[in-house]
Structures are given as C-alpha cells and as structure tokens.
Structure 1
C-alpha cells in the first residue's frame, strides 16, 4: 500500500529496497554513482510511496505560486478565452501559470507537485476516482473549469448556467415566430450539453411546440458536427427554420452548410450559438449566441485554486456564472410561408 507522502522517509524507502539511506539519498539527488538496477528499484519505491523531497513538503505559500492548467482536448477558441481569464487573474495575484495537455502517466499527480505546482485546473477534463485519489495523496488541489460531467462533491468546479442559456436561446427564436427549431449539440453524456438541451426542450414545451425526434442531434462541439448535422436537418421532409447550436463552432458549421445549399442566414435559416467566442463576433453574419463568461470563469477558477492551495475552505464545491443572450445578425423573424 502506498504510504502517505508526509510520513514517508528515506529510511522507509531504504528498508523496502534493502539498501542504505545514503544510496536512496543519491537516487533522490540524481547522483550517478548508483548501479542501474538499484536505481530502478529505488525509483519505483519512491513513486509507489509518493515520496516527495523535503523541499516540496513545506506549508508556506511561495512568493509566486505556480498553477498547472491542463486541457484534455484541442485548444480551440473556447479554450483561448478561458486561458486569458486564468492568465489575467494570475498576473493580478502574482501567480504563475503552466499550460499542458492532460497526462495520465503513472504518478502524474506526484510529478506535478515535485515540479512545484501548487494546484491544478482541468479545463473540460474528466477525472476518475483513481485520479482524485492520486491528487489527494499528493496534496494537490483540483478545480475543473466547465466540467463535462455533473459536479462531484470531491471536485471543486466552475461552470455557467447552461440550462438558462439553452432556455434563453430557444425563447429568442420562439419570439421571432419560429416553431420548427432544432438543437445540434455536443456529446450526449456531457452535462453541459444535457443542460442546454433541457433548456431548449423546456422553452419548446412551455410554448406548446412539439419537438420531432429528428430535430435533436448530439455530436461533438466541433465545426464538423455543424456541417454534418445541418445537412441531415435540411434534408428532412419538414426542415427547421431555425437551429440552436450547442456552441459557436457548431453554429458556424450550420451556416456554412446552409450557404452551400443556397440558403441565406438569417432570411431562410436563423442560427444561434453558445459561448460568444471571437468566432461569433467574426462570423458572417455576426452570430447571435449565448454568452458564456469564459474569461470570468477562468478568473474564478484561478482564484479558487489559489485559495485551496493556501489551505482555505471554499463556500461551494461548484460555482455557476450567469449566461446572457447576445442578439446579432444571424437570427430574424420567420418568413410567413414557413410558419407552423
């Protein structure tokens, strides 16, 4: 069984390896005068026991705490805005930020602590019970930004009001007279996607508008999902007059597919996105979307991580920031011939 890193000593490792304390010390300090087989055995025990050298066991906050920010997916426009919020907050508070792709290598949590990290921010990342146990043993606080799954009581997280955003997006389209409204979303099991889809359905139900099964299509939060999903929707016998997309990338895919089929946005098809990234503002036409306060969310995640690293308790393990509909030029009243 791994020993708590705070109680593991060089003597503990030496006894387990059958070598002297001096030999273990040489391995810890990177000395070359240790036989390769002995070095390998000692290193394995150091990892197994989550041993941290004394320099990493201190309880005082360093002058410039370093926070690791890990991404499980490609760094798209969504991630860029979240990172800006994290970096801005770090600069304000005198912290440093290291950005990396998520690693699941053995002893990854211990390696982060050994590298001087004070806390970990995972962006749309998924952490299993085993990952959480590793982080707990290493004493490394975790904050998940925009969690893909429902918030866990063991995980501190920062998200947005996805249900309210989905509700607002659909109500906006309903207010323009649309009734044939489709939803193109992200992964079916992602909590944020489910909340946005539930908001969409709630608005449709409240308006007394039925939702055909073919009008709700999960996928990925990618441009490709927008291209393929819109193609399938526009081939229906009764295609939608409006599409609520699960994020801005999907929305841009919808607009592109509409154009290739000779449809005008918004005259023939209204489109609403989600996130309000730079893509939404650069789109042609500029995209109506639900603003997810990504920079603010990044700042809250960074501040929460620093508080946890300092041993403070936070008021709630999950924080949600408000979304807001931003109306631009990709939505318009439904044409009279398309009503019903």
Structure 2
C-alpha cells in the first residue's frame, strides 16, 4: 500500500491549480519563477506545492547553461579560493556562474530561491551555507540539483555534500606537534554548529588522548574562522601562566592572527611558539615564516561538486549523500621541535 508521502507526491499540476483556485498557467508561472502572479497568490500556490510535495514530472527540464552559487563570506580568502575553483570547473563545462553572497547566518537573502527558479540553472552549489526545508523542497520540486561544499551545520542526509577529512586533519596537525615534543598545545576552534570545526576539535582531542596527554579546557578557545579571532584567542592563550608551546589554529586566518599575537608578546615563531594552520590557502606560503598547515583539496572539492550537479541534472533519482576527500599535512617553517627555551613562560 502506498504511503501518505507517496500519495501526496503524485499530485498533478491541475490538482494544485484546482485547490489554489487558479489556472494551470498561473501554477506554471510560480513553478518557473515567472512574474505576473501576486505575492498572496504565489504564497498560496507555494504552500500547496509544499504540502503536496509536488515534483515536476519531466526531469529533462529546459535549463540555462548556468551554475547558481551561494557562498558564505565571499570576500574571505577561503571563499575566494573556493569560488575560483568552482568557476574554473564550470568554465571547462561551458557553464556560466551566478554568485550570491549569503547572510551572516549563512542563509540566503529573501527571494533568492525565486531568482534561482527564474534562471532555471543546471544546478545550485552552496559553500558553507544552509537552506531551509521549504527552500530545498522548492528546488527539488523543480528538479534543480543542489550540492553543498563544506556545509554549515550537520549535513542533511537528503542533500549531497562534499567535504574533507576534517577529523583526520585535526589529528594530523596535533600529532605533528606532539611528535615535535610539544605537550602544551592550544587550539582555536570554529563555530560549534559547523561540522568541520567539531571534527577538527575531535581530531585534536583524539591525538592528545592517544599520546597520553590530558585535555586542558583552558587551551581550547572558540572563534568563527576570522583573523580577529586568531589574534584575540592567540593572546588569551599566550597570556596563560602556563602558556602553550604550540597552537593548532584550525584555519589559516586564525594562524595569521596568532602570528600577530606572538609578536605582541615578543615571541618568535617557531623558536618560542610552533603554529599549525588549516586549509593551506595561498597566504599560508607567503606568511613569515611560511605556515605549516593542513591542505584542504579545494580544487578537487569544487570539481566533485560541479561534476555531481551535472550528473544529478541527468539522473535526478541518483542516490548520493556525502563524500570526504583526504587532507594532508604540509610542513613548512612555523613548527619546530620543542627546546628548553620555548618551554619558558613569556
């Protein structure tokens, strides 16, 4: 016997039009994001489409050769490098790219989905963003594929996502410092509602535990992946009576903030303080000294995301959840073996 959801999903365009007391052409305008429908009528039709879990019958829709990208903090080094990688991958497939910046809550601005529906792109890629259930359903009902890179929050099982092995990256970074003889290792973490941050912190803790080292809460400092957090929390760590001899900054921007904090305390890197970053952005190798960091394969993640969007466009029923690409530690000049001098308090 069909389930209630299955029955609801079989609603036709004419049934939705009848219940909304409008013409089929009006429902079609709403489905395709076209103008000529009042806000009140559009809202009523959208509510019915959501309730009926309507999905267009013809998966081979007419599409524009465009990729819609929603990105959190487009002006950040991470956002810039991720976008450059996506644009290159899209261009190789002769796709244009429409870029929209997200709000401070990593969500789209009002009417973003309406604009996407009007454009009818090949698909949508989110970078460190999240969508409401209603927005996801609106895209799904029009057979517009959605893929998330480095999702904000825990990735939903119904949305394909591309990430990296953040637990392993956090473990590698911390294990590297332990192998250099450091036992007082601070960490600056990311937002608690981001999978990447919690996984990196978990890897840090696992490395300490595997080495028989305790987890000192005073060595764990929060942030939101901004340079200012690296400076502020770096100073807080270095002001401790028993300061750390090494800091795992779980983003390269944090690490540059820690560099500045170390200078303000008259400490040298890596002589007095070893630092490991995360992401391996271009700025990492330009730092002084060049930054030891965990390489996140942004180019490969972008390639995977665009490839998956194209595949989902051809195979809307394709079942896909998540893929994590490997991270690697890149050792440069900011980490060194612990010496008696570096173990002294500042």
Q: Normalising by structure 2, what TM-score?
A: 0.83
CA distance in 2, matches of 1:23, 1:105: 22
RMSD: 3.2
Once structures 1 and 2 are overlaid, which stretch shifts more, 328-337 or 292-301?
328-337
**Aligned counterpart, 1:155:** 159
In 1: Cα distance, 2:241 partner to 2:190 partner: 24
- Partner of residue 325 from structure 1, selected from 318, 325, 329: 329
Give the unaligned 5+ runs of structure 1: 32-37
Matched, 1:105 2:110: yes
What residue number does 1:34 align with?
A: none
Q: Is the 8 A contact 2:169 2:294 kept in 1?
A: yes
Pairing 1:112-191 to 2, within 5 Å after superposition: 112-191=116-195
1:198 paired residue among 196, 202, 208? 202
Separation (CA, whole Å) in 1 of partners of 2:308 and 2:27: 37
Does residue 92 of structure 1 match 2:97?
no
Worse-superposed segment, 236-245 or 38-47: 38-47
Kept in 2, the 8 Å contact 1:180–1:242? The answer is: yes
User: Which residue in the other structure is 1:237 paired with?
Assistant: 241
Query: Aligned match of 1:305 in 298, 309, 325?
Result: 309
Q: Distance in 2 between matches of 1:122 and 1:195?
A: 20
Q: Aligned match of 1:8 in 10, 13, 21? A: 13
Q: What is the DSSP-based 3-state SS (H/G/I as helix, E as strand, rest coil) of the residue aligned with 2:13?
A: coil
Give the conservation status (yes or no) of the 8 Å contact 2:74–2:80.
no
CA 1:146–1:98 in 2, change beyond 3 Å: closer, same or farther? same
Structure 2 spans left out of the alignment, 5+ residues: 1-7, 51-55, 103-107
Deviations 1:124-180 (A, max 9, x none): 112333332333233322111011222321110000000111111111111111111
Deviates more, 1:283-292 or 1:146-155: 146-155
Conserved in 2, the CA contact under 8 Å of 1:6 and 1:57?
no
Contact 1:118 1:309 in 2 (8 A): yes
SS in 1 for 2:21: helix
Whether the 8 Å CA contact 1:246–1:273 is kept in 2: the answer is yes
Q: CA shift at 1:321, angstroms?
A: 0.5
> Rg bigger for which structure?
1
* Corresponding residue pairs, total: 325
CA distance in 2, matches of 1:339, 1:82: 38
Residue 4 (structure 2) aligns with: none
Verify: 1:82 aligned to 2:87, yes or no: no
Q: Distance in 1 between matches of 2:130 and 2:240?
A: 36
DSSP-derived class of the 1:281 partner: helix
The 8 Å contact of residues 89 and 303 in structure 2, kept in 1 or not, is answered as yes
**In 2, Cα distance between equivalents of 1:139 and 1:261:** 56
Check the 8 A contact 1:4/1:50 in 2, yes or no. Answer: no
Taking structure 1 as the reference length, the TM-score comes to 0.84
Cα distance between partner residues in 2 of 1:21 and 1:251: 57
Q: Which moved more, 1:241-250 or 1:121-130?
A: 121-130
Q: Give me the whole-angstrom Cα distance separating, in 1, the residues matched to 2:284 and 2:10.
A: 47
Q: Distance in 1 between matches of 2:176 and 2:26?
A: 70
**CA distance, structure 2, for counterparts of residue 296 and residue 274 of structure 1:** 17
